[in-house]
Structure 1
Amino acid sequence: NNILTAIFGFASLVQMKIPEGDPLRVNIDQVIAAAERAAGLTQSLLTFSRKQVLNLRAVSLNEIINKVDKFLARIIGEDIKLQIVSKAEEIVVHADSGQIEQVLLNLATNARDAMPQGGIFSVVTEAVEIDQEYIDFYGYGVPGAYARMAVSDSGMGIDDQTIKRIFDPFFTTKEVGKGTGLGLSIVYGIVKQHNGFINVYSEPGRGTTFSIYLPLSKAEQQAGPDRNRMQYPAGGSETILMAEDDTVVRDLSRTVLTEFGYTVIEAVNGEEAVQKFREFQDKIQLLLLDIVMPKKNGKEVYDEIKKTRSDVKVLFLSGYPAEVIGNTGLLEDGSNLIMKPVHPQDLLRRIREELDRGGSPDSRGKP
């Protein structure tokens, strides 16, 4: 993850300096695209193991589908008809929209391969109530209100023996080189991370339906639209204490932050971070701390600094999954955690949001 962070970061800095029409621009664009594919595989493996950090918020399920419908059409091709049906005007779920998009893209790819001669690919959404009768019948689930997203194809279908293994990692019925065997495993992992569940109904020659159930959000209103990830957020003039033991990541972060107006004080380990804070505490507005580093980990650094300044803001960086961090007791939740590899845009956005947010991290949500 540190390696990918460096590739993303330095390539993005070069990209910023090259005008759109410059012939060299296409080369750096390809570098970034390749790095994104590599990061995608890494995140896919984390998602399957259910250790990927999710950006959960109240979102419209129908809007997520409408947002990717053109992309779905490109994936399945011209010989397959796309049908999208919503049985409810508004279905709000507590979800990571990017991960739900990934579910749809993976299922669309699977459906396309099941219909080499063409057919119909449909996505149907509705609000449903899961009761004890359903749970007794299927053997899983929790009673409550859910959004049901039924994703179907009219393809060749799946036999019973294959269905039993369909969500197993690296299991595939495709030819060598035609698939990784992770697509449906990733779908399963994402759904489980959302406290949902999924079942499959299929008969050979009669198509397949994946029914995905996601808990309905209790929020009455959905959150605003996502920011464009490729737009660089506003910078600032604040001073940031950055503690990172990886030289490449530290150099990249300093370059990005200073480029956007921030003053950066660097530390290569936890003890030095505490020492630098004591020296410059009146100037520092934000801590940017790697979770795992020598001498003191990021949480220990933050806890010690809080004794001096309880109002200091903090963001943690880690290449380790949130679940691993949580199990070690290093971080109670992932609210202030940025997962590596991190794009410069995302780093700048999270820093700006944290600096503009009122209250200290520990005081949020307290009366």
Structure 2
Amino acid sequence: MKKGGDETTKKFAEQIISASEKGASLTKGILAFTRKQVINPQVVDLNGLIERTEKILMRLISEDIELNTNLTDRALNVNIDEVQIDQILMNLATNARDAMLNGGKITISTSLYEINGEFIRAYGYGKPGSYAMINFADTGVGMDEETRKKIFEPFFTTKGLGKGTGLGLSISYGIIKQHNGFINVFSEPGNGTEFKIYLPLTTQEAKERKPIEVITTVSGSETLLFVEENSIVRETTRVILEEYGYKVIEAVDGEDAVQKFNENKDNIKLIISDMIMPKKSGKEVYEEIKKISPDIKVIFVSGYTADQIKTKDISEDGISLLFKPITPNKLLKKVREVIDSPNNPKFGLKA
């Protein structure tokens, strides 16, 4: 962690931690959506949300991609689940990054938009009223008409095998509908992609945000293996761990985790692994790696509830299970605690 102690460093850390806490909530948010549970809305200024998310978006994209924001001067108060809207922005950013392998530009702008009868007749959807509009544009490869028509369908993806679930945009679409909003997309091959998101304005005042607690005493320099299927959760968690000095090796599934460990077994001090993953579960990964390195330490996390996974074998082995979302503060403290604990591979992280 940068330890300058000045306000610029502190503000940067606050933005990283704030956005990372939202990223860590992704799996639980998706589960809530698929079970059609009630969202947790609160009144926020949409411009403020984007400003707080900008730093984490910059870390999610490549260094050769420019990120610009053009936010309206007026407040855009909306009644939203901030975590879920933030997930949408991170998903759009990672998709844009993947469409600009040779670099490019992302522009996020906001404005006040009035949906009227003319809009509804032109697009075939909408409800008259005042909306906050997010315009998210990239200069990537774009897409043809056939692809554009399918991008909100579940499991549709243009990415290679193992590089995308095809759920990101369909979940984003569902979240926006839950907020009584609308989304459309404009794109042509070679001319980039532009998403427009419309969220109903509210006359209520935005709530004052609590200051973010910044940790400065739990940094480290060890190498960690972080195993997580979801790219947004994986990348945002990597960002916060790297900000506090750790070296992070990422794995996208169980088989990838075993391979990455074999390639780096002399350096990895701790495994942080999702519990339920494709190809091999977290428990199977741990059992296989333990044959290579019996003293390896592990932290299991899961986005599923206790009644959705089998916890009996884990508890019998003395390995505790942490249920997502996990805040960066708690993760950083426990990572340090596990690494500094006696050499016991069965030292886990309690919820």
* TM-score, structure 2 normalization: 0.53
Q: Distance in 2 between matches of 1:52 and 1:341?
A: 18
1:78-133 CA-partner distances (Å, limit 9, x unpaired): 10000100123311111111111111000000000010001010101001110011
**CA distances 1:229-261 after superposition (whole Å, capped 9, x unpaired):** 999xxxxxxxxxxxxxxxxxxxxxxxxxxxxxx
Aligned residue for 2:110, secondary structure, equals strand
Structure 1 runs, 4 residues or longer, greater than 3 Å off = 39-43, 226-231, 340-345
Q: 1:41 aligns with which of 13, 16, 27?
A: 27
Counterpart of 2:108 (choices 123, 131, 142) is: 123
Whole-angstrom distance in 1 between the partners of 2:137 and 2:127: 24
CA distance in 1, matches of 2:171, 2:55: 22
Aligned residue number for residue 311 of structure 2? none
Aligned-pair CA distance for 1:66 = 0.5
What's the secondary structure of 1:68's corresponding residue? helix
The 1:185/1:118 distance shift into structure 2, 3 A limit, reads same
1:323-342 counterparts in 2 under 5 A?
A: none
Structure 2 residue 209 is the aligned partner of structure 1 residue 225: yes
- Asked if residue 199 in structure 1 is aligned to residue 199 in structure 2, the reply is no
Q: Which residue of 2 aligns with 1:103?
A: 88
What CA distance in whole angstroms lies between the structure 2 residues aligned with 1:160 and 1:187?
A: 20
Q: Cα RMSD (Å) of the superposition? A: 2.8
**Quick one: distance in 2 between partners of 1:152 and 1:103?**
14
Q: How many residues align?
A: 203
Change (3 A) 1:122 1:50: farther
**Would you say the 8 A contact 1:149–1:211 is kept in 2?**
yes
Distance in 2 separating the partners of 1:211 and 1:180: 23
On the 8 A contact 1:115/1:154 being kept in 2, the answer is yes
Tell me the residue number matched to 1:215: 200
Amino acid at match of 2:153: D
State whether residues 103 and 187 of structure 1, in contact with CA within 8 Å, keep that contact through their aligned partners in structure 2.
yes
Whether the 8 Å contact between 1:88 and 1:127 is mirrored in structure 2 is no
How far does the alpha carbon of each residue in 1:10-55 deviate from its partner, in whole angstroms, 9 at most, with x for none? xxxxxxxxxxxxxxxxxxxxxxx9xx96x743532442x3714322
Distance 2:92 2:27 in 1: 17
Q: Distance in 1 between matches of 2:31 and 2:326?
A: 23
How far apart are residue 203 of structure 1 and its match?
Answer: 0.7
Structure 2 residues without counterparts, runs of 5 or longer? 1-19, 216-303, 307-321, 328-351
CA 1:51–1:319 in structure 2 vs 1: closer, same or farther (change >3 Å)?
farther
What TM-score does the superposition give when structure 1 sets the normalisation length? 0.51
SS state at 1:211 partner:
strand
Contact 1:50-1:193 within 8 A present in 2 as well = no
- Indicate if the aligned counterparts of 2:28 and 2:324 stay in contact, CA closer than 8 A: no
Q: Per the alignment, do residues 343 and 172 of structure 1 end up closer, same or farther by CA in structure 2, a change over 3 Å counting?
A: closer
For the residue of structure 2 that corresponds to 1:204, the secondary structure is coil
Instruction: Provide the C-alpha distance between the structure 2 equivalents of 1:130 and 1:155, rounded to a whole number of angstroms.
Output: 28
What is aligned with 1:54? 39
Tell me the CA shift for residue 198 of structure 1: 0.2
Gap regions ≥5 residues in structure 1: 1-32, 232-317, 321-339, 346-367
Name the CA distance, whole Å, in 2 between partners of 1:45 and 1:159. Answer: 31
CA–CA separation in structure 2 for the residues paired with 1:343 and 1:181 = 22
Identical amino acids, percent of aligned pairs: 48
Which residue number in structure 1 is paired with residue 235 of structure 2? Answer: none
The Cα shift of 1:163 comes to 1.0
Counterparts of residues 4-83 of structure 1 (less than 5 Å)? 40-47=26-33, 49=34, 51-83=36-68
CA contact (8 A) 1:88 1:125 kept: no
1:195, 1:214 within 8 Å by CA — same for their partners in 2? yes
The alpha-carbon distance between structure 1 residues 154 and 229, as it changes in their structure 2 partners (threshold 3 A), is same
Match of 2:128 in 1: 143
In 2, are the aligned partners of 1:199 and 1:211 still within 8 Å (CA)? yes
Give the AA of the match of 2:208. Answer: G
> In structure 2, what residue type is equivalent to 1:63?
G
Are 1:90 and 2:68 counterparts?
A: no
Q: Match of 2:57, SS? A: helix
1:189 is displaced (CA, Å) by: 1.3
Q: CA deviation at 1:138?
A: 0.3
| Structure 2 Cα separation of the partners of residues 344 and 187 of structure 1 | 22
**Quick check: 1:155 aligned with 2:140?**
yes
Determine if contact 2:26/2:325 at 8 Å carries over to the other structure: no
Shift of 1:76: 1.2
Kindly name which structure, 1 or 2, has the bigger radius of gyration based on alpha carbons: 1
